[in-house]
Amino acid sequence: MGDPEGRLLELARSGDRSAFDALVGPLVEPGYRLAYGLLQQREAAEDALQEAAFKAWSKLGNVRPGSSIRPWFFAIVANQCRSARRGRWWWVVKLASPELQGNWPEDQIVRGADLRRALRLLPTERLEALVLYYYLDLPLEEVAAITRVPIGTVKSRIHRALEQLRPLLDAPLEAFV
């Protein structure tokens, strides 16, 4: 942990909200992208991020000395998303398609919808590895730290996810139902 981050962490642990905001504030946008990538629904991602920020505030004492706050916070976000996906209502409520922004050609919209449907079929641990590595562009070492598995397992999850996605993206719509 860098000296400035360590000082902010100590201040935040003592109850300084502005220090906490300085630590976690820059992580909110990528944390939301992680939550959205895992949950595929804007409202659910916002809720998960808000819960994760609350948990981070209450569990600042769990940050190990010398550790960076980023993987620790992203792990909390990912855990909150896993909890949301395990929840009873997650499987009852049909996910709404995210809002489309801009005027994209129709084929891009269709491919995006196909990809979102295929991503929803991935097991959570594979989806999490893909989102962290490709969507947030995190190095494998950090993905491993966030998911709390060895780098080899991260590579395996990414490989298996891509192998699972390839046939689905060329499959007819009935494969997703």
Question: How high is the pLDDT of residue 70?
Answer: 93
Which of 65, 96, 127 is where one domain is finished? 96
Walk along the chain (177 residues) and give the pLDDT tens digit of each residue: 446 888 999 999 999 999 999 999 999 999 999 999 989 889 999 999 999 999 999 999 898 877 889 999 999 999 999 888 876 554 444 344 444 444 455 555 555 566 777 788 889 899 999 999 988 889 999 999 999 999 999 999 999 998 988 887 765 544 443
Using the structure block, give the residue that is written with the tokens 């220090």. 19
The identity of residue 176, as a single letter, is F
Q: Does 25 share its domain with 57?
A: yes
> What global pTM score does this model have?
0.66
Sorted by sequence, the CB contacts under 8 Å of residue 76 that are 6+ apart come out as 52, 55, 56, 59
User: The domain containing residue 151 runs over which residues?
Assistant: 104-177
Q: Which residue has 């009852």 as its token pair? A: 92
The CB density around residue 87, as the number of other CB atoms within 10 Å, is: 12
Number of structural domains, the chain?
2
Upper half-sphere CA count for residue 90 (Cβ side, 13 Å): 18
Residues 83 and 151 in one domain: no
Q: Are residue 61 and residue 117 in the same domain, yes or no?
A: no
Find the CATH number of the domain harbouring 155. 1.10.10.10
- Domain stops at, among 75, 96, 117: 96
Whether residues 18 and 90 share a domain: the answer is yes
Concatenate the DSSP letters of all residues of 75-88 into one string: HHHHHHHHHHHHSH
Local structure of residue 14 (DSSP, 8 states): T
